[in-house]
Amino acid sequence: MPLRVVMLGDIVGSPGRLAVMQQIPVIRQRWKPDLILANGENAAAGSGLTPEQYHKLRAAGLDGITLGDHVYKRDQIVPVLETEQQIIRPANLPTLAKGRSWMRLTPASTPGSAPTPLPNLYVLTVLGRIFSSLPADDPFAAVDRILPELPERDPIVLVEVHAETTSEKQALGWYLDGRVAAVVGTHTHVPTADAKILPHGTGYITDLGMSGPYESVLGRRIDRVLTHMTTAMHAPFDVADGDPRVCGVYLEIDPASRRTTHIERIELKADPHARPFVA
């Protein structure tokens, strides 16, 4: 029986949070995942994550949450990073950075599940260095360092690459092919059409896309972005609210080989006229 995992792209603002909360039951019914994860680094008005939002997303059904270059934009998240087991910061930040550099997620047993428990999933995120606003160490070396430190032999590992450029994400995918179960890209908020299994069994996609408002420019109000780009004058990039969607991938991972046997994109339109968007 495969380990079934859903990983969702960057949650952007209130529309992204509400869309994820609304669509988690749909995801569970359609794909029956053992674990659901998401990148939450844009959840707080487009930048950062608050403790309240973390706990609400967890209560809604997210088993784990990753963060990227906006990890510390909300100071109050630091105690959560230090105490909670289901949230991680990028692994290639300086050694004194607050928070965990990887997490272990254990699938819950359900009635009628396989007699042999499903294996744990280890998750780590690395920042890209090209055009990155947050200084980070070598992501290739960071993964090389962490993999031998994981407390299991031949663990199932998902690596998220939070990076600006497609080239850096692809390079890490090829570098880790056959060494981890999956490599997924985040940060650029535009879903890519290259979900595939690399030659040695690693599931890969360059960008999951965002979970947020798609009637926007990368989640921000179109009029504000156009004002800035056509006049060079400052305009606050407020989060948009039109056409909320949830995007990501569904993975099936073979517990024996620790490799991906199936990968498919997820793109679900949320209903802004239904709960939890409206009471």
- Report the alpha-carbon distance of residue 116 to residue 125 in Å, rounded: 29
Indicate whether 218 belongs to any domain: yes
Q: Amino acid identity, residue 7?
A: M
133 exposure class (CB count in 10 Å sphere: 0-12, 13-18, 19+): exposed
Indicate whether 274 belongs to any domain: no
Phi, psi of 6 (to 5 degrees): -115, 130
Find all residues with CB under 8 Å of 18, minimum gap 6, and list them. Answer: 244, 270, 276, 277
185 forms beta bridges with: 161
pLDDT confidence of residue 78? 98
Indicate whether 276 belongs to any domain: no
pLDDT confidence of residue 267? 98
In the set 70, 162, 187, 189, the catalytic residue is 70
Task: Report the chain (279 residues): mean pLDDT per 10 consecutive residues.
Answer: 97 98 98 98 96 98 97 97 98 96 89 72 97 91 98 96 98 98 98 98 98 96 95 93 98 97 98 95
74 exposure class (CB count in 10 Å sphere: 0-12, 13-18, 19+): buried
- Report the alpha-carbon distance of residue 265 to residue 71 in Å, rounded: 26
pLDDT confidence of residue 133? 80
Q: Locate tokens 């979900």: which residue? A: 195
Domain region containing 254: 3-269
Q: Are 156 and 255 in contact (CB under 8 A)?
A: yes
Report the CATH number at residue 152. 3.60.21.10
Phi, psi of 203 (to 5 degrees): -70, 140
Indicate whether 138 belongs to any domain: yes
Q: Packing angle between helix 13-31 and helix 51-60, nearest 10 degrees?
A: 20
Indicate whether 277 belongs to any domain: no
Q: Are 87 and 64 in contact (CB under 8 A)?
A: yes
Indicate whether 278 belongs to any domain: no
Indicate whether 92 belongs to any domain: yes
Q: Are 140 and 159 in contact (CB under 8 A)?
A: no
| 70 carries an active-site annotation | yes
pTM comes to 0.95
For the chain, helix (H) and strand (E) counts, in that order, are: 6, 13
Indicate whether 114 belongs to any domain: yes
Structural domains counted in the chain: 1
pLDDT confidence of residue 150? 97
Closest to 168 measured CA to CA, from 131, 199, 137, 136:
131
